[in-house]
Amino acid sequence: MSDLLWQKPGVAVDAQIQAFLAGDDVVLDREFFLHDIAASRAHAEGLQRIGILSADELAGIARELDALAEDFSGGAFVLDERFEDGHSAIEARLVERLGDTGRRIHTGRSRNDQVLVATRLWLKEKLARTQALCVETAGIALQRARAEADVPLPGYTHLQRAVVSSLGMWWGTWAEAFIDNAARARDTHAWVDANPLGSAAGYGVNLALDRDHGTGALGFARMQLSPPYAQLSRGKFELAAIEALGSAMLDLRRVAWDLSLFTSAEFGFVALPAQYTTGSSIMPNKRNPDVIELMRATYASVAAARSEIEQLLSLPSGYHRDLQLSKGALFHGFGKGLQALALLPDLLRNLEWKPERMRAALEPSMYATDLAVDMAKQGVPFRDAYRQAADPARWAGGDPAASLAARTSPGAAGDLRLDALQARLAALR
């Protein structure tokens, strides 16, 4: 490893302890290394604005940071165990290339605000991606809700046949759910969009750092105001972000559950395109819906990440190294979650429904509620109508189209309100 930034003369470093301290931190830092470099540039510009760096020194730093970003992206520079972390690697590179100028970069900053700013920049991208995937999912659901609005589907409660539902209702569910999830990702993005750079180790620094410049240069909507709170917010904003993702994952898990039921032979309502299924090593007949099962299971990874981050936050004020461990959880949770979420739009786009199977699953009892309400409309007290409609002798069968029309057409309580959903969705694009 290159020299540790904080190493004291004459104090030997124990390899086992050092390995424990390091963990996989430097490898994790690859994930937001480009953001760390971008923030270093903004910081250097700020230093030049207050006379700590000359224009020439800034130009050299900017050039070397660009080169580092390029080398890292192209693989010519590998961020690995030679460095304690990504932050040290940036400084080491600037010192190697620029000597004393490089040794000035850390004036007025701490790795504590470096890691904060890099994490926030990284999360803004991930939340934007979460929002975009939710918007795309909702768009497909809405489109299919319109196209298949009147196709009857059994509606279940307790997994027991209840009333006649429709594909319009099933798709409308996911349209609104993912609109909500997109809105949550957007709101969380707005909350995370604040610049901690300049808060240094959590107590500011005796320099007139131009924090407004850094805020604008890095594209933040606002500045974090209280330096100690900038530190305290670590973990808290990661938690909010993983919860926003978790909200989408919760619905993804439900969709996957519905589909794994509906694709079973017992239901047979929908067929998955072949690429979403796998085979069995022993049973030649099998076509298993592994993709939706793993999509469903991915909820566990996101929930585990959320839990790990939350468990780290039982700390007094100020920076603590405990917080370092939030990174692995955050990166892993978002990595897995977004990978699964990214498969959802195409999966939904490609579902092939089996309307004849869905229709065959409707049975006369499923019109009993309509019957009771119809009688109540004629003036029979609902509780009496309910008792009469419970009599199987009165279940003459029914017409799914009429049942659906009475509940889901404009003005009815179950109105699909697809135009209103469309309007909400348009505001999130």
Active centre residues (catalytic): 158, 280
* Rounded least distance, CB 112 to ligand ARG, Å: 5
* HEC secondary structure over the chain: CCCCCCCCCCCCCCHHHHHHHHCCHHHHHHHHHHHHHHHHHHHHHHHHHCCCCCHHHHHHHHHHHHHHHHHHHHCCCCCCCCCCCHHHHHHHHHHHHHHHHHHHCCCCCCHHHHHHHHHHHHHHHHHHHHHHHHHHHHHHHHHHHHHCCCCEEEEEECCEEEEEEEHHHHHHHHHHHHHHHHHHHHHHHHHHCEECCCCCCCCCCCCCCCHHHHHHHCCCCEECCCHHHHHHCCCHHHHHHHHHHHHHHHHHHHHHHHHHHHCCCCCCCEECCHHHCECCCCCCCCCECHHHHHHHHHHHHHHHHHHHHHHHCCCCCCCCHHHHHHHHHHHHHHHHHHHHHCCHHHHHHCCEECHHHHHHCCCHHHHHHHHHHHHHHCCCCHHHHHHHHCCHHHCCCCCHHHHHHHHHCCCCCCCCCHHHHHHHHHCCC
Q: Is 324 in the site for ligand ARG (CB under 6 A)?
A: yes
Name the residue nearer to ligand ARG (CB basis): 31 or 251. 31
Name the residue nearer to ligand ARG (CB basis): 4 or 67. 4
- By CB under 6 A, the residues from 22 to 61 that bind ligand ARG are 25
CA angle 10, 12, 18 (to 5 degrees): 145
Report the residue from 40, 48, 101, 112 that binds ligand ARG according to the rule CB under 6 A. Answer: 112
Q: How many residues bind ligand ARG (CB under 6 A)?
A: 10
* Rounded least distance, CB 46 to ligand ARG, Å: 20
Which of the stretches 42-50, 244-252, 317-325, 418-426 binds ligand ARG when contact is defined by CB under 6 A?
Answer: 317-325
* Rounded least distance, CB 120 to ligand ARG, Å: 13
The angle, 0 to 180 degrees and rounded to 10, between the axes of the packed helices 236-262 and 167-192 is 170
Which of the stretches 59-67, 304-312, 321-329, 365-373 binds ligand ARG when contact is defined by CB under 6 A?
Answer: 321-329
Q: Is 120 in the site for ligand ARG (CB under 6 A)?
A: no
Q: Is 117 in the site for ligand ARG (CB under 6 A)?
A: no
Name the residue nearer to ligand ARG (CB basis): 286 or 320. 320
Report the residue from 123, 164, 239, 323 that binds ligand ARG according to the rule CB under 6 A. Answer: 323
Q: Is 321 in the site for ligand ARG (CB under 6 A)?
A: yes
Name the residue nearer to ligand ARG (CB basis): 291 or 323. 323
Report the residue from 43, 124, 327, 336 that binds ligand ARG according to the rule CB under 6 A. Answer: 327
Name the residue nearer to ligand ARG (CB basis): 166 or 324. 324
Q: Is 72 in the site for ligand ARG (CB under 6 A)?
A: no
Report the residue from 31, 36, 57, 85 that binds ligand ARG according to the rule CB under 6 A. Answer: 85
Which of the stretches 124-132, 172-180, 185-193, 315-323 binds ligand ARG when contact is defined by CB under 6 A?
Answer: 315-323
* Rounded least distance, CB 70 to ligand ARG, Å: 24
User: Between β-strands 222-223 and 194-195, what pairing exists: parallel, antiparallel or unpaired?
Assistant: parallel
Q: 288 forms bridges with which residues in the sheet? A: 278
* Rounded least distance, CB 319 to ligand ARG, Å: 6
Name the residue nearer to ligand ARG (CB basis): 25 or 210. 25
- Of the candidates 108, 1, 90, 11, which has an alpha carbon nearest to the alpha carbon of residue 50? 108
* Rounded least distance, CB 21 to ligand ARG, Å: 9
Q: Is 331 in the site for ligand ARG (CB under 6 A)?
A: no
* Rounded least distance, CB 197 to ligand ARG, Å: 14
Report the residue from 115, 151, 177, 312 that binds ligand ARG according to the rule CB under 6 A. Answer: 115
From first CA to last CA, the distance across the chain in angstroms is 46
* Rounded least distance, CB 39 to ligand ARG, Å: 13
Which pair of structure tokens corresponds to residue 89?
Answer: 């690697």
Which of the stretches 56-64, 111-119, 154-162, 225-233 binds ligand ARG when contact is defined by CB under 6 A?
Answer: 111-119
Q: Is 111 in the site for ligand ARG (CB under 6 A)?
A: yes
Are 292 and 256 contacting, i.e. CB atoms less than 8 angstroms apart?
yes
The contact set with ligand ARG (CB under 6 A) reads 25, 85, 111-112, 115, 319, 321, 323-324, 327
